[in-house]
Amino acid sequence: MRSYKIFLLGGFLLLSGMANAADDIAAEAPQQTAFARTIDKASETLMYALSLVGVNYKYGGKSPETGLDCSGFVSHVYRQAAGLILPHNARAISLFGQKIAISELQPGDLVFYNTMRHAYSHVGIYLGDNRFIHSARTGSGVEVVDMNESYWVKRFNGARRVVTSRLPFAASNE
């Protein structure tokens, strides 16, 4: 009888511990889910951006069918892949999100360059490994380039992390 009571007590303690563990897991789930959603959005954004490699450049272009300029490319990618509405202007896009140092770059961050003799005149999406994707000019269209090329190093203006909760003027489908 005594071993039966010990068995029941042990079973009760085991189940109590599982209930507490389940409560702990349930309490952590919303944070993990939000983090997982952020990772999924970044992955979707990068995959969609890469699917557009080779699309023609068109000044003022907003769609892959007719061509994209740099800001048209970035705003199109973020709208389609993340449901985020960004302006169609590199300088205006540079006002969104959180400013970050080049050493803090993560895939999906935006990188800005001075390509027309004024700051923030060009924008692309950072892919990782010092590479970014952008729509640069007639003849090249959407392409992946190395940020360490001297042309880009000399013209780098900064980077921003586009976080929907920090975008007071952007609309999101979430």
CATH number, domain with residue 87: 3.90.1720.10
Of 76, 88, 118, 134, which is the active-site residue? Answer: 134
Quick check: 45 and 133 in contact, CB under 8 A? no
Lowest mean pLDDT among 10-19, 43-52, 119-128, 161-170: 10-19
The enclosing H or E element of 24 equals helix 2-51
Q: For residue 134, give its domain range.
A: 42-166
Q: How confident is the model at residue 126 (pLDDT cuts 50, 70, 90)?
A: very high
Residue 61 lies in a domain: yes
Q: With b meaning 16 or more CB within 10 Å and e meaning fewer, what string describes 109-141?
A: bbbbbebeeeebbbbbbbbeeeebbbbbeeeeb
Residue 28 lies in a domain: no
Residue 171 lies in a domain: no
Question: What's the total number of domains in the chain?
Answer: 1
Taking the C-alpha atoms of residue 103 and residue 21, their distance in angstroms, rounded to an integer, is: 38
Q: How confident is the model at residue 42 (pLDDT cuts 50, 70, 90)?
A: confident
Taking the C-alpha atoms of residue 107 and residue 50, their distance in angstroms, rounded to an integer, is: 12
Based on the residue annotation, tell me whether 134 is a catalytic residue of this protein: yes
Residue 3 lies in a domain: no
Residue range 28-48: mean pLDDT, rounded: 65
Based on the residue annotation, tell me whether 118 is a catalytic residue of this protein: no
Taking the C-alpha atoms of residue 20 and residue 111, their distance in angstroms, rounded to an integer, is: 45
Residue 24 lies in a domain: no
Residue 107 lies in a domain: yes
Q: Which residue has the higher pLDDT, 139 or 37?
A: 139
pLDDT at position 43 is: 84
**Average confidence score pLDDT of the chain:** 80
Residue 82 lies in a domain: yes
Instruction: Give tens-digit pLDDT for 102-111.
Output: 999 999 999 9
Distance (Å) of CA 20 to CA 10, 17, 139: 15, 5, 61
